[in-house]
């Protein structure tokens, strides 16, 4: 007999530690909001998830098959939106958790999007440019029925960049027979990308940190910043916060970290990374391991690399006043509780790193209208949206006496719950 109720929620494909973490965060918000159980069920599993095999010919003429995913968590507010990750750890649970976080993030920023995420399990550094191009194009072809400017709009994430977006846009356009820039965001400016998109996530992180400093009555001048990860988000955060008068004293990447208690020269460091790919070997700095870097005494710690970096094991030793989650899911549930008890001010990922999807929204709108905005206009609109979301979250956290993550989730979940109720349940 077919069960009337879904009692098989232990599907191991989804229920990885990171998906359980995303779900537990949602459930805290749902409990606090006393969310109707009928609505609650509709948020816990993604709307749809697609898994594809991607065969490509490698440069040595052999064929390799990679695994790819695209997950749409929710589309109540509009087309789904979310990045594509190329990384060896990509799996259905991770992509589903990231898609759920995108749903909350878009709602929190007031964007007309639902949440999605995608990824291919591969090591992009081990593939040649041609292999990467074939992988991107075949992946796009395999998921083509599930993406589109009105349906689901990919963007870059870890291991992907504007070149990958250009290949996705070209593949999609070749299938349709005409150019469709609105299919992806984070693409190069010369094919319809937006000014300010590359720096947007870092810029949003810095807007949030400045608002947090204002709330905590701190001034930016000379404040010590530590950043884990020196890719798109980490490097842009470093440069923009340096321009605000702060001192970035340590950064790291997948290989190693560097430290200078008097502050790193970020422009010179970016030039060094441009040339050598890694932060290692930068002059006027000493090496530091990733573990020690996270525990450095500083004013602001910015995890801008992978998830689950601040855990039960190191949360007691995290020594900052503000923790700005530029990465998605860098703090585990157990660590969250410890940091909260210790009184650290945490800016949650769905708020801290939402600058990227906000300028992606601007890019999508500009693409649909074929009317392009000036960079200053983009940065100003970004500031307005990020700062207003920050202050909405802060106000709710103060009135409800909950931490910033729970406040942010409550605002998002409530917004989508209301929209679901207004739309009703089909059929």
Q: List the catalytic residue out of 81, 117, 224, 420.
A: 117
Integer angstrom CA distances of residue 23 from 19, 30, 98:
6, 10, 11
DSSP string, 88-140: TT--HHHHHHHHHHHHHHHHHTT-S-EEEEEEEES-GGGS-HHHHHHHHHHHH
Instruction: Select from 66, 113, 207, 230 the one that contacts ligand NAD (CB under 6 A).
Output: 230
Q: Examine residue 241 and tell whether it contacts ligand NAD (CB under 6 A).
A: no
Contact 100, 349 (CB under 8 A): no
Per-residue interface string for the shown chain with ligand NAD, residues 278-317, x marking contact by CB under 6 A: ------------x-------------xxx-----------
Q: Which stretch binds ligand NAD (CB under 6 A): 48-56, 157-165, 216-224, 412-420?
A: 157-165
Nearest distance from residue 324's CB to ligand NAD, in Å? 11
Closer by beta carbon to ligand NAD, 194 or else 232: 232
Pairwise CA distance, residues 259 & 238, whole Å:
13
Retrieve residue 35's tokens: 């969310």
Nearest distance from residue 94's CB to ligand NAD, in Å? 10
> How many CA atoms lie less than 13 Å away from 51 in the CB half-sphere?
12
CA 110-104-315 angle, to 5 degrees, is: 125
Closer by beta carbon to ligand NAD, 220 or else 330: 330
Q: Which stretch binds ligand NAD (CB under 6 A): 31-39, 177-185, 231-239, 264-272?
A: 231-239
Pairwise CA distance, residues 358 & 349, whole Å:
14
Q: Which stretch binds ligand NAD (CB under 6 A): 7-15, 68-76, 238-246, 320-328?
A: 320-328
Nearest distance from residue 339's CB to ligand NAD, in Å? 18
Count of residues touching ligand NAD (by CB under 6 A): 24
Q: Examine residue 136 and tell whether it contacts ligand NAD (CB under 6 A).
A: no
Pairwise CA distance, residues 183 & 149, whole Å:
5
Buried b (16+ CB within 10 A) or exposed e, 156-180: bbbbbbbebbbbbbbbbeeeeeeeb
Q: Examine residue 356 and tell whether it contacts ligand NAD (CB under 6 A).
A: yes
Rounding to the nearest 10 degrees, give the CA dihedral for residues 427, 80, 12, 8: -20
Cβ contacts of 288 within 8 Å, gap of 6 or more: 250, 252, 256, 257, 258, 259, 296
- Is the alpha carbon torsion for 375, 393, 32, 405 positive or negative? positive
Q: Which stretch binds ligand NAD (CB under 6 A): 58-66, 72-80, 150-158, 315-323?
A: 150-158
Q: Examine residue 327 and tell whether it contacts ligand NAD (CB under 6 A).
A: yes
Nearest distance from residue 155's CB to ligand NAD, in Å? 7
**Closest residue to ligand NAD, based on beta-carbon distance:** 231
Contact 107, 416 (CB under 8 A): yes
Nearest distance from residue 242's CB to ligand NAD, in Å? 17
Instruction: Select from 78, 148, 231, 287 the one that contacts ligand NAD (CB under 6 A).
Output: 231
Nearest distance from residue 284's CB to ligand NAD, in Å? 20
Q: Examine residue 96 and tell whether it contacts ligand NAD (CB under 6 A).
A: no
Q: Examine residue 140 and tell whether it contacts ligand NAD (CB under 6 A).
A: no
Pairwise CA distance, residues 54 & 32, whole Å:
42
Buried b (16+ CB within 10 A) or exposed e, 400-410: eebbbbbbbbb
SS3 state of residue 29: helix
Q: Which stretch binds ligand NAD (CB under 6 A): 12-20, 57-65, 155-163, 332-340?
A: 155-163
Pairwise CA distance, residues 412 & 155, whole Å:
21
Closer by beta carbon to ligand NAD, 81 or else 420: 81
Retrieve residue 193's tokens: 């990308």
Instruction: Select from 159, 220, 348, 367 the one that contacts ligand NAD (CB under 6 A).
Output: 159
Catalytic annotation present for 105? no
Q: Where are the beta strands (DSSP E) in 253-290?
A: 257-259, 286-288
> How many CA atoms lie less than 13 Å away from 352 in the CB half-sphere?
27
By CB under 6 A, the residues from 20 to 59 that bind ligand NAD are none
Q: Examine residue 367 and tell whether it contacts ligand NAD (CB under 6 A).
A: no
Nearest distance from residue 356's CB to ligand NAD, in Å? 3
Nearest distance from residue 329's CB to ligand NAD, in Å? 7
- Residues forming the active site: 117
Residues that bind ligand NAD (CB under 6 A): 156-159, 201, 228-234, 252-254, 290, 304-306, 326-328, 353, 356
């Amino acid at each position: 007999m077919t069960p009337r109720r879904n009692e098989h929620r232990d599907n191991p494909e989804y229920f990885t530690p990171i998906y359980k973490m995303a779900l537990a965060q949602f459930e805290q918000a749902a409990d606090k909001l006393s969310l109707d159980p009928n609505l609650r069920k509709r948020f816990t599993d993604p709307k749809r998830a697609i898994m594809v095999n991607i065969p490509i010919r490698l440069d040595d003429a052999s064929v390799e098959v990679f695994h790819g995913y695209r997950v749409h968590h929710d589309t109540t507010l509009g087309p789904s939106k979310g990045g594509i990750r190329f990384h060896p750890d990509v799996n259905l649970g991770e992509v589903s958790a990231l898609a759920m976080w995108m749903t909350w993030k878009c709602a929190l920023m007031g964007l007309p999007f639902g949440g999605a995420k995608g990824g291919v399990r591969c090591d992009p550094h081990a593939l040649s440019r041609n292999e990467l191009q074939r992988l991107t194009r075949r992946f796009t072809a395999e998921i083509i029925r599930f993406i589109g400017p009105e349906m689901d709009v990919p963007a870059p994430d870890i291991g992907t960049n504007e070149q990958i977006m250009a290949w996705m846009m070209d593949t999609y356009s070749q299938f349709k027979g005409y150019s469709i820039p609105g299919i992806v965001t984070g693409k190069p400016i010369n094919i319809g990308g937006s000014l300010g998109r590359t720096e947007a996530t870092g810029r949003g992180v810095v807007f949030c940190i400045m608002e947090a400093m204002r709330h905590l009555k701190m001034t930016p001048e000379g404040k010590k910043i530590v950043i884990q990860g020196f890719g798109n988000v980490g490097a842009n955060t470093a440069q923009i916060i340096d321009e605000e008068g702060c001192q970035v004293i340590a950064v790291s990447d997948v290989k190693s970290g560097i430290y200078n208690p008097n502050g790193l020269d970020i422009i010179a460091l970016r030039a060094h990374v441009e040339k050598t790919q890694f932060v290692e070997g930068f002059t006027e700095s000493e090496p530091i391991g990733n573990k020690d870097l996270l525990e450095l005494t500083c004013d602001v710690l910015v995890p801008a690399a992978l998830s689950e970096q601040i855990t039960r094991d190191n949360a007691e030793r995290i020594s900052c006043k503000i923790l700005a989650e530029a990465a998605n899911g860098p703090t585990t549930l157990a660590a969250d509780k410890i940091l909260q008890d210790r009184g650290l001010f945490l800016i949650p990922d769905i708020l801290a790193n939402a600058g990227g999807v906000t300028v992606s929204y601007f890019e999508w709108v500009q693409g649909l209208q074929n009317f392009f905005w000036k960079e200053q206009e983009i940065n100003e609109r970004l500031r307005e949206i990020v700062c207003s979301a920050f202050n909405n979250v802060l106000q709710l956290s103060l009135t409800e006496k909950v931490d910033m993550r729970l406040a942010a989730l409550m605002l998002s979940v409530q917004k989508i719950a209301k929209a679901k109720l207004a739309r009703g349940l089909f059929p």
